[in-house]
Amino acid sequence: MSLIKITDATLNANEIIAQVLRDDLGGIDIFIGTVRNQTKGKKVVRLEYEAYRPMALSEMNKIANQVREKWPQSSIAIHHRIGILNTGEAVVVIAVATPHRQQAFEACKYAIDTLKETVPIWKKEVFDDGEVWVAAHP
């Protein structure tokens, strides 16, 4: 299983966490972003994600490399889902392991915040009364 992945398959957080486990790393932090049932008071029927895969994977690898540079000895996995997702389904899972907990918290926050800013992934929010394309990670 790849540490950096864009997939249309269901994300399994436990499998992604297992990818970063190492005996020398004692802190693990995980971010799981899921589909909400509403946006700005409107009921969400589903979300549809698309990515420019080559660039998105390149940017995700860049984030992983930056995390490893900023937090030496860290291990990181980033998986993002594309396609049609329903309420409650995981869209993105980021797992980071570091020697200590504070580093894991900081590295995981850095990874999701940077992903939201730089990775070319878009989502269509589908409502009862229409739909709209928005940046997946504004």
pLDDT, tens digit, for every residue of 37-52? 998 889 999 999 999 9
Mean pLDDT computed over 84-109 = 97
Q: In this structure, what CATH number is given to the domain that contains residue 73?
A: 3.90.1170.40
Residue 135 inside a domain? The answer is: no
- For the chain, the average pLDDT equals 94
Q: Is residue 72 part of a domain?
A: yes
More confident residue, 81 or 137: 81
Domain ranges, residue 21: 4-128
Q: Is the pLDDT of residue 106 over 80?
A: yes
pLDDT for position 134: 83
Residue 33, pLDDT score: 97
Tally of domains in the chain: 1
Residue-level pLDDT at 1 = 55
User: Does residue 133 sit within a domain?
Assistant: no
Structure-token pair, residue 5: 């992945």
Alpha helix (H) residue ranges in 7-100? 13-20, 53-70
CA 69/CA 133 separation, integer angstroms: 34
Place of tokens 């249309």: 8
Confidence band (pLDDT; 50, 70, 90) for 93?
very high
138 lies in some domain: no
Q: What is the rounded CA–CA span in Å between residue 5 and residue 57?
A: 7
State the pLDDT confidence band at 138, using cuts at 50, 70 and 90. very low
Percent of the chain with pLDDT over 90: 88
Q: With 50 as the cut, is the pLDDT of residue 62 above it?
A: yes
Phi-psi category of residue 121: left, alpha or beta, with phi > 0 → left and psi -120 to 50 → alpha: beta
pLDDT at position 137:
55
- Examine residue 16 and state whether it is found in any structural domain, yes or no: yes
Amino acid, res. 49: Y
The Cα–Cα gap between 44 and 131 comes to 9
User: Do residues 101 and 122 touch, judged by C-beta distance below 8 A?
Assistant: no
**Mean pLDDT for the stretch of residues 46-62:** 97
